[in-house]
Amino acid sequence: MATAYQIAQLLHVLAASIWIGGHIIIALGYLPRFITTGDFRPLQEFESVYEKIGLPSLAVAAITGMYMATQLGWPRGAVSSLVNLKILLLAAIVLLAVDARFRIIRRHRRGYSISRVDMAAHIIAVTLISIILAVVGWEIRY
């Protein structure tokens, strides 16, 4: 029978896979077309669908990650520095998402063009930070 930690770990890995996989699809599949054409619609359509599973996946990964961290002795245990790094990386993702939503996307909704550089920087940053989160998580062994 699986322990609560093992179940949390499975949910964490599945949720992180959905989050990271979606961002790799955006970065490699949709972003190049947006940069080339400036047409935001395909990117926006994908994100509107992906957001419905991506954001809950990020929440599940965060909740299960915190549960596992406490089981491993965080904030005082041996993995504390890695967990703290993951929390900082997650905060960076949240800040980038808030900036994208309230600055870049709001500008688009008001009928203005979107900076290709701004959008690319956000998407690439979130994707790379998400991959780094996975690598740091891999360093935490139970």
Q: Do residues 115 and 104 touch, judged by C-beta distance below 8 A?
A: yes
pLDDT tens sequence across 35-76:
999 999 999 999 999 999 999 999 999 999 999 999 999 999
Domains in the chain, number: 1
pLDDT tens sequence across 69-120:
999 999 998 899 999 999 999 999 999 999 998 999 888 889 888 899 999 9
- Tokens 């947006």 belong to 34
pTM for this predicted structure:
0.92
Peptide bond preceding 32: is omega within 30 degrees of 0, i.e. cis? no
Residue 15 has what pLDDT?
99
CA distance 22 to 57: 10
Residues of the domain holding 60: 4-139
